Amino acid sequence: MHFPNLLNARDLGGYPTVDGAQTSWRSLVRADDLAQLTAEGVRALADYGVETVVDLRWPEEAALYPSPVPAALPQVRYQRISLLTHTEDEWRLRSRDVAKELWKCVVLEHVRIELRHVLSAIAAAPAGPLLFHCVAGKDRTGLIAALLLALADAEPQAIARDYAMSSANLRDAYLKRYAGADPQRIVEALRCPEEGAYNMLQFLADAGGVRAYLAQIGLKEHVIERLRGRLRS
């Protein structure tokens, strides 16, 4: 898939599942910041059939770089639901010194209300293609993607590879974009270790499985089933 100026967009269809099937195409798309889209990119979004956009950015991020979707694609259902905490500063205070390998587990443990809101919105959306994104499309977006893939019984290796893919997708463009910065710091910031995904899956297993975890954060069974149906039609 190609949305001009996006670096980290991909359909979550075609991933192998533990029972030998594949996840459904043209249902869920993960991406980086839609504010980067060119006019051609906005048209490509419409041509792909995207019906719903869930914007996971903080209010400060959305205010600084507004999404083009509401004005350019009024037919698309647009929701901004801040994942993590309500502001960037608040999250920084709560997540200092968290190793990337454990980041997802920290979020699953401490950001349950926000996760419930985001997942409920995805479950309640019309059945057509839904795109969710943050800024780089790797951490917040990667967490939601990993949860949905786990619920669809995607193979653990596929979930880990999807998470790690973001580093390669972003690296060259970010090194050019921030040419005056320390390249090692950029590379470290973009790191998405597969171990982080495996640790998240172990966290879910320790909670009784992904379904049990989603029930613990307050999702009803019919909502969980609707979420699973997104990738297992």
At residue 102, the pLDDT reads: 74
- Residue range 14-33: mean pLDDT, rounded: 98
At residue 104, the pLDDT reads: 81
Reported confidence tier of residue 107, pLDDT bands at 50, 70, 90: confident
At residue 86, the pLDDT reads: 61
Residues comprising the chain, all counted: 233
User: Which region among 106-120, 131-145, 208-222 has the lowest average model confidence (pLDDT)?
Assistant: 106-120
At residue 94, the pLDDT reads: 53
Query: Which residues have a Cβ under 8 Å from the Cβ of 61 and sit 6 or more positions away?
Result: 33, 88, 135
Condensed to tens digits (0 to 9), the pLDDT of residues 54-97 reads 999 999 999 999 999 999 999 999 999 998 766 556 555 455 55
| SS3 state at 53 | strand
- Residue range 130-147: mean pLDDT, rounded: 97
SS (H, E, C) 26-39: CCEEEECCHHHCCH
At residue 233, the pLDDT reads: 83
At residue 1, the pLDDT reads: 80
- pTM for the model stands at 0.94
pLDDT of residue 101 exceeding 90:
no
Closest to 62 in 3D by CA, of 39, 46, 97, 86? 86
Domain boundaries, the chain: 10-231
- Residue range 206-211: mean pLDDT, rounded: 98
What average pLDDT does the structure give for the chain?
93
Condensed to tens digits (0 to 9), the pLDDT of residues 219-229 reads 999 999 999 99
Query: Which residues have a Cβ under 8 Å from the Cβ of 23 and sit 6 or more positions away?
Result: 12, 13, 14, 15, 17, 149, 152, 154, 231, 232
The identity of residue 213, as a single letter, is Y
**Hunting for tokens 């690296």 — which residue is that?**
171
- Residue range 110-118: mean pLDDT, rounded: 92
Condensed to tens digits (0 to 9), the pLDDT of residues 169-199 reads 999 999 999 999 999 999 988 999 999 999 9
* Other beta carbons less than 10 A from residue 125's beta carbon: 19
- Tell which CATH classification among 3.20.20.70, 3.90.180.10, 3.30.70.1290, 3.90.190.10 matches the domain 10-231: 3.90.190.10
* Percentage of the residues of the chain whose pLDDT score is greater than 90: 83
Reported confidence tier of residue 28, pLDDT bands at 50, 70, 90: very high
